[in-house]
Amino acid sequence: MATAIHIERVPPPDLHLPLSPNTVNVRIIDTTTSMLCKADYFLSPTIGNLHELYCNAFAFLVENPRTGQKLVFDLGVRKDWENLATPMVERLLAQGFRINVEKGVSEILQEEHVALEDIDAIIWSHWHFDHIGDPSTFPETTSLVVGPGTLAAKLPPWPENLASTLTASDIRGREVREISSAEFTLKIGRFRALDYFNDGSFYLLDVPGHAIGHICGLARTTENSFILMGADTCHHGGQYRPSPYVPLPESIKPHPRGDSVTAGPNETCPCSIFEELHPNPAEYRTQQFYSIRVREDGGSVAFNVQDAKDSIAGLQEFDAADNVLVVCAHDASLKGIIDVFPQYANAWKDGEWKEKGRWRFLGDWEIPDHKV
Ligand SMILES: [Zn+2]
């Protein structure tokens, strides 16, 4: 075990966040999606006893209070996921995914009296089954917005195109707007960006690598705070934390397993216990624990592994900013920390959600020789 050494925090690069007085109202939707899948489908190496990854799916309701426009960013998994394109269902079963979805996002919205007719657009971060939901449960007046290259890659839908994972009902009857690469004329952090409402309140970011057309949302929650809707840039907090900008502290309180039998709620966790779990123990306080898994045959969950790695590095720069809350779609460690729909998320900084959630992923592993 290393003795406690002070680690210098490397100053992160300036993100060049644009200035604007305009905000959007943001609500984080727990889509009621629960998935269990093999951790090594996404993550490398295997750490501790984490062989199975639990994934929820967050979506977002974004409202522009000046124009009245409303949009939904992502939809989680459709409730009747057995009605996904048949090859998709077969693949999920073959890969051992276990999926349960209690409600569709359209139901969740209606239960709280959000009229679906008022939703101007659904934005898909990307076309994977656990983000597209079931757009056919929204009126045809709700348009669908997708990232660059999605339509050429995925249309026509299955079964006309056996390689597509979309079905006709995902797009039928509604305007589908693909953002062109040339529309990303701004730069925020290392990502190309577009100003969605042209008022500085909500940006779409071109965050390549995970899938063709993978985009993120960046919502201005107060004049100088933001929520980054990270989608599938990462599937676990250990893929981007710690970083040279956000080193692991010497100890954490409350203990990341403070709700378990191994640690009491008021216990302090000495972070040296994570040293031997790290693939590179000498850097366990400044380098992320996980990389994107690349199989022996070169295959990976990422469409382009190098781009996906670069995008994770870009995400680390946002995560280093005190005024940006990163919410990746499957970050179950935020559950219980954040307020979800119908509550608003704009006051996340006052609620210290970032500080409370930052190291919770460390609680996913069985900690060896846990003794304080
Ligand atoms: Zn995905």
Give the domain ranges of the chain.
Answer: 25-364
pLDDT of residue 266: 73
- pLDDT for position 298: 87
Q: Which of 194, 187, 177, 174 is nearest to 123 (CA)?
A: 177
**Residues 40, 6: contact at Cβ < 8 Å?**
no
How remote is the CA of residue 232 from the centroid of ligand 1, in Å?
5
- E strands, the chain, are 25-30, 33-38, 43-44, 52-55, 58-63, 70-73, 98-101, 119-123, 143-146, 176-178, 186-188, 191-195, 202-206, 215-222, 225-231, 251-252, 269-270, 291-292, 324-328
Q: Which residues of the chain are modeled with pLDDT < 70?
A: 1-5, 258-265, 367-372
Residue 277: what are its φ and ψ, rounded to 5°? Answer: -85, -15
Taking the centre of ligand 1 as the mean of its atom positions, its distance from the CA of residue 132, in whole angstroms, is: 10
pLDDT at 285: 96
Ligand 1 centroid, distance to 263 Cα (angstroms):
34
Residue 260's pLDDT is 58
- DSSP conformation class of 42: T
Give the pLDDT confidence score for residue 115 in this predicted structure: 98
Q: How far is the CA of 156 from the centre of ligand 1 (A)?
A: 20
CA 254 – ligand 1 centroid, Å: 31
pLDDT at 310: 98
Cα(253) to centroid(ligand 1), Å? 32
Question: Cα 173 from chain centroid?
Answer: 29
Distance 268 CA to ligand 1 centre (A): 35
pLDDT of residue 256: 83
Distance between Cα 130 and ligand 1 center (Å)? 7
CA distance 322 to 339: 19
Q: Could you say which DSSP state residue 114 is in?
A: -
What is the model's pLDDT at position 371?
A: 44
**Token digits for 185?**
């004329």
For 25-364, CATH gives 3.60.15.10
**Ligand 1 geometric centre to CA of 126 (Å):** 7
Instruction: Give the pLDDT of residue 150.
Output: 97
Find all residues with CB under 8 Å of 115, minimum gap 6, and list them. Answer: none
Distance CA 284, CA 114 (A): 45
